[in-house]
Amino acid sequence: MELINLPYGKDRVSVTIPKHNFIGMMDPEFAVPCADPEKSIEAAILNPIGGAKLKDIITSEKTISIIIDDISRPTPISTILPILLSHLLSLGAVRENIVIVAALGSHRYMTEEELKKRVGDEIYENYRVINSEFRKPEGLTYVGKTPEGVDILVTKAVMDTDIHIGIGCLVPHPTMGWAGGGKIIYPGVAGEKVVAYFHLLSSLYEGCFYGMDTTPIRDMMEKWVDSVGLHFIVNVLLNENAEIVDVVAGHYVKAHREGVRRGKQIVGYKLTEKADIMIASSHPADQDFWQSTKALQAAEIAVKGDRGGIMILLSPNFEGIGPNPDYPKWIGKDDCDEIVRECILGKSVDDPLALAVGNSISKLRRRRRVIVVSDGVSAEEMKQCGCEHYRVSEFQHLIDKLISENPNCRIAAISNGAKTLLYE
């Protein structure tokens, strides 16, 4: 028997699989962290890839917004921010002219304690640190319309500043191919309808963009970012322990693409055999079911054929379904494309973002048999999704049952489903 040990939040869960059934763990080799992360961050900032150096754009008169990703991401913001701020101040930037904005997209608002922990106590006490806005009109600025007439709105606190700097983490992403780069603006600090718009368009495609260098959605997003302005980025690549392995900085497209190139070598795993049953731990996207389903999109490529096979999502889902309660309803529907098209053209839906992401996962759910192993969501909620549900205590029973149904099945697993890139 093979004992496999998978992350489940801060804990780990183990199951045994007969040797003849187990392909192996499809995890990238451990990436050694930087010997001196602070020096690596500083070196990246001083030697940007493409675009202007900060010393060429920062003056004492300029107002600056530093846009950081939120707690759903493992980015070590409290390590990066002090180095960036020190550099900005050395170039003449004035502390009172700097605002730090947590890019929520449409995630829930971070609490004061979460913001403080994200940036560090000293920075929180000495700088203006706020959540982005995505709902309240008074917190948003109109910057144009999409081709279909959707208002493009961006957080006012960002648009009111002269210089925009983004800090984020480079990991594969199901809509944009990879996170990082211009995504910190769109959908990071955009209005809720714009966030939904990107996901609605993406959900009309079959398959998944996870891990692609660029996608039709990213290409569109970057054109919008170009008109708004993202003057500098700092993006990190992390290993499975959330330690910094590499850093890129500079132009939001050129630095991003170089980061993607390096990232494939860090988080990539080349497939040698496909599985009948694929087990995916959602780590580190463990916050809720809204985040954890990324692991399904990452792992699907490892399942045999275009249809069929079994996918098991292992996730704590600490906050349950997440901020979009309609999400399960749309996952459970068998064809939402027409509703998505009508929504893009202006038909009212209570939660268009839940419709968009739900439609994408619904397509995956119809291609594969999806089983969710979690104590954070209920059997009733998963039934609404069209998925099966088991508690963590039943995980071994589930594996034994599936093997009894198909004694010659081949099983594989990934430990960090939300940040591993499987490729053929």
- Report the pLDDT value the prediction gives residue 59, as an integer from 0 to 100: 95
The per-residue pLDDT for 217 is: 92
Residue 71 has a pLDDT of 85
3-class secondary-structure state, position 379: helix
The predicted structure's pLDDT at residue 195: 85
Residues of the chain with pLDDT under 50: none
Query: 3-class DSSP state for residue 3?
Result: strand
Pick the CATH number of 2-26+271-423 from 3.65.10.10, 3.30.1950.10, 3.90.226.30, 1.10.150.120: 3.90.226.30
SS3 172: strand
Note the pTM of the prediction, 2 decimals: 0.85
Which sequence spans correspond to the domains of the chain?
A: 2-26+271-423, 37-266
288 torsion bin: left (phi>0), alpha (psi -120 to 50), beta (else): beta
The token duo for 223 is 């054109």
Q: What is d(CA 390, CA 373) in angstroms, rounded to the nearest whole number?
A: 5
Q: What pLDDT was estimated at residue 188? A: 93
Superfamily holding 37-266: LarA, N-terminal domain (3.40.50.11440)
Q: For the purposes of burial, counting CB atoms within 10 Å of the CB of 138, is it exposed (0-12), middle (13-18) or buried (19 or more)? A: exposed
Q: CA geometry: angle at 358 spanning 308 and 384, to 5°?
A: 75
Q: Alpha-carbon Rg of the chain, whole angstroms?
A: 21
Residue 168: what pLDDT? 96
Q: Give the pLDDT score at 418.
A: 86
Per-residue tokens: 231:
């003057």
**Strand arrangement of the beta sheet that strand 277-281 belongs to:** 22-25, 411-414, 277-281, 310-314, 369-373, 388-390
Following DSSP, what letter does each residue of 303-360 receive, concatenated? BSSSS--EEEEE---TTTT-S-TTHHHHHT-S--HHHHHHHHTT---S-HHHHHHHHH
Euclidean distance between CA atoms 132 and 151, whole angstroms: 17
| pLDDT of res. 164 | 98
- Ramachandran angles phi, psi of 57, nearest 5°: -125, -15
